[in-house]
Every structure is written in structure tokens, then in C-alpha cells.
Amino acid sequence: MTLTIPLVLLLAVVAALLLRFKAVGFGAAVVVALFGFYLAHTGAADTVNHLVTAVTDALPGIGR
């Protein structure tokens, strides 16, 4: 059985947990979110997308 979770949902849950357990402050979370938003509008967005895709494609092969 394959379970598919959108990466943005997973990252949102992690961010919420970090805020909940005070591992990161609200201001830092806002800065990181804004950084990601503006990073998506640069030329680096394709490189980051390819890197994340390569890592997520490699994850199922690690357990073999």
C-alpha cells in the first residue's frame, strides 16, 4: 500500500509542531516562510525543485 502525502502538507505540520513546542519562535517561522516564498520566484526555484524531487525519489530505495 502506498501512502502519498503532499510535501507542503508535511512541511506545514512540521512547522506547526516546531511552533507548538517552542523549538522556533513565531518571528523566525515568518521569516523562513517569507524566504521560501521569495525563493520560489527566483532562478534557484528549479534547482531546489530538482533537488527535492531527487531526494524524495531516492527515499523508497533506501530501505531495500
Give 23's contacts (C-beta < 8 A, 6+ positions apart): 17
Task: Answer for the pair 47, 37: CB distance below 8 angstroms, yes or no.
Answer: no
pLDDT tens readout for residues 7-60: 888 989 999 999 999 999 999 999 999 999 999 999 999 999 999 999 989 988
Q: Which residues contact 9 (CB under 8 A, 6 or more apart)?
A: none
pTM of the model: 0.70
Look up cell 523566525; give the residue.
28
Domain positions in the chain:
11-58
